């Protein structure tokens, strides 16, 4: 079959249709994800020391763009009890 992909950029940036396009967009599950990350980190951090395997100045924190998504770059940590 043929795949058809709609490009909605012109519609989503149309002032006539979307008057609030300048506002920050929110993810539906962002609140739940933040709460889960907080709970996980507050349980892990007291029991372990986290150290990067590379020099902290060499860690690239610029998000990776993959089409629709912006992902954090991956790097390795060492959990020391």
Positive or negative: CA dihedral 12, 17, 21, 23: negative
pTM comes to: 0.39
Q: How far apart are CA 29 and CA 33, in angstroms?
A: 6
Instruction: Report which DSSP code applies to 14.
Output: -
- Domain boundary assignment for the chain: 9-80
Residue 11, phi then psi, degrees to nearest 5:
-70, -45
Q: What is the pLDDT along the chain (81 residues), one digit of tens a residue?
A: 788 777 777 777 777 766 665 666 678 888 999 999 999 889 888 998 888 888 888 888 888 877 778 888 888 888 889
pLDDT of amino acid 18: 67
- pLDDT for the residue 59: 84
Q: How many CA atoms lie within 13 A of 74 on its CB side?
A: 0
């Amino acid at each position: 079959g043929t795949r058809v992909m709609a490009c909605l950029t012109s519609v989503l940036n149309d002032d006539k249709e979307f008057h609030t396009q300048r506002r920050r967009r929110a993810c539906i599950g962002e609140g739940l994800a933040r709460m889960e990350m907080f709970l996980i980190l507050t349980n892990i951090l007291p029991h372990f020391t986290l150290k990067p395997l590379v020099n902290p100045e060499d860690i690239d924190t610029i998000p990776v763009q993959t089409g629709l998504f912006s992902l954090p770059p991956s790097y390795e940590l060492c959990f020391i009890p």
